[in-house]
Chains A and B, each alone.
Chain A
Amino acid sequence: MAEVEVRNLSKTFGDTVVLDNISLKINEGENVVVFGRSGTGKSVLIKCIVRLLEPDSGEVFIEGQNILSLSENKLNEVRKQIGFLFQSAALYDSMSVRENLSFPLIRNFNFTAKEVETKVKSALEKVSLEEAIDKMPAELSGGMKKRIGLARTIITEPKLILYDEPTTGLDPITTKEISQLIVELQKDLKTTSIVVTHDLICAKIIASHAVVLKDGRIKYEGNLENLVSTSDPFLKDFFTSDMLEVKNGSVK
């Protein structure tokens, strides 16, 4: 399990301030859900945590190591312990599902071909897609891609997993399945997770801790129950927006 600490992180794109002096601590084994409107810097935050984006200022510690000051080789050693599920799943188009899953194992670890095959099959079993092993990404549906992406994320048994909108664009049933899968995997692998989402169903299933971003700053940090029952107008508006009632043809 991994502990993550973000200190005074800021990131701007041109004149737009996306993250404004954010500080956050995520304890080992915690499932943190990051909420916020589109463009508030949720994805930028997790991309800065794994140094896919270089922040303008601030520090990011993973298991006590400031990853922003690490050399490329040392950073890659830390990254071997991290899984990242992208919003689009980001499966490699030119590789089959088997190759997608075995790619990080072959490149980064000294497993035999038999061990790689066993791990690939076991990861696919966890996401219930054993039959897709020889398919190409173009032959998969959106939900299947997310599941395969999840299998590729967990195949290296990372200590920290970051999920960038894992249920966006999926129907409520698949959303629920994927969310439950994330919780099960967290229990099995005992990982620390950071989940960026808009989806309250997903958050309710996953979250042990919630963070809300607004205008690049942390608006709320605490448990999900208090967040949902808050009296703050912004948070109230945010968390009731998907529970709209239609009465007499008008939306309330």
Chain B
Amino acid sequence: MDSEETNTDTSKSVSVSVKRLYEFFQTVSGLSLFIAEFFKKVFIPPYEFAEIKKHMDELGVKTLPIVSVTGFIIGLVLAMQSQPVMIRFGAGSFLPGMVALSVVRELGPVITALIFAGRVSSGIGAELGSMRVTEQIDAMEVSAINPFRFLVVTRVVACTLILPMLTIYVIFLSLFGSFLAILLSQGISFQLYLNAVVHSIEFSDLIPGIAKTFFFGFIVGIVGAYKGYNTENGTEGVGKASTSSVVISSLLILLVDMVLVKVTLMIWSN
């Protein structure tokens, strides 16, 4: 009796695993085709500049408060946490440079991208998903307007362009946060702090850090748009599209970051 139940449970869990694996490959292939469609459409006129600008405004304004707070706190906390250790090793004077390097190379871009994914990818997924289930996308298509170009391309381009701007803003706020932390504990002057930061950051730190945010912005936009544009099963599907957009885009950001860090190190070490 027990062995029969165990066999049934095992076969159930195997079929669930097979189903999940199938869904995973379905998502990968669907997303790849979606990305190919994006590149097919993005370079062909008409270019929707007004719509792209509108989305950049909306996305920027929507994300600004949360990234401002996060950016400031990251810099502040990083300086506060690192200070005792740096002093213990007699490297207290390197603290501004260490914080600046961490924020510029890794923390600024990745944390801004993850917050952006949580805020924007879910929003795009839910918005396009609800347009899909209420037939608004079909209405656009039947009116001889290409919904992919109007809804997807514009949002993905806006995400790709706005995230680097937000990242630069976050980096400045983090540096300001770390300056305040060091000022309060060591009484450092702004001029001295600035000199330490400027001397510790090189071109090879700044450019890769900012460049990878274009990829992250693209991931956030394309995943949210893919999930929303292909929503099924009514309002339940909209919820799923919104949630899975955040999960997939966050994971992809971390994976792509890992690859890009390796590529960057290979390029700049030469």
- The chain A residues found within 8 Å of chain B, CB to CB, are 47, 50, 52, 72, 76-77, 79-80, 82, 84, 86-88, 90-94, 103-104, 107-108, 156
Contact = CB atoms under 8 A, between A and B. Distances in A.
Interface stretch (B105-113, B138-146, B193-201): B138-146
Contacts of B139: 84, 86, 90, 92
A194 B172 CA distance: 61
A108 B136 contact: no
23 contacts: A50-B142, A82-B142, A84-B143, A86-B135, A86-B138, A87-B135, A88-B134, A88-B135, A90-B135, A90-B136, A90-B138, A90-B139, A92-B131, A92-B136, A93-B130, A93-B131, A94-B127, A103-B143, A104-B143, A104-B144, A107-B145, A108-B145, A156-B143
Contacts, number: 50
Contacts of A82: 142
B62 to A, nearest CB: 14
Nearest to B150: A107
Q: How large is the interface on B (under 10, 10 to 19, 20 to 34, 35 or more residues)?
A: 10 to 19
Contacts of B142: 50, 52, 79, 82, 84
Given A88-B134, A90-B139, A103-B145, 18 more contacts: A76-B144, A76-B146, A79-B142, A80-B144, A84-B142, A87-B135, A88-B135, A90-B135, A91-B136, A92-B136, A93-B130, A93-B136, A94-B127, A104-B144, A107-B144, A107-B145, A108-B143, A108-B145
Contacts of A50: 142
A91 B140 CA distance: 10
Contacts of A77: 144
Contacts of B131: 92-93
Given A93-B130, A93-B131, A79 B143 contact: yes
Nearest to B134: A88
Contacts of A84: 139, 142-143
Nearest to A156: B143
A86 B133 CA distance: 12
Residue among B127, B130, B143, B145 with most chain A CB within 10 A: B143
Contacts of A107: 143-145
A80 B142 CA distance: 8
B40 to A, nearest CB: 11
A219 B167 CA distance: 63
A75 to B, nearest CB: 8
A82 B143 CA distance: 8
Contacts of B138: 47, 52, 86, 90
Contacts of B134: 88, 90, 93
Complex A-B, nearest 3 residue pairs according to Cβ-Cβ distance, in ascending order: A90-B139, A76-B144, A79-B144
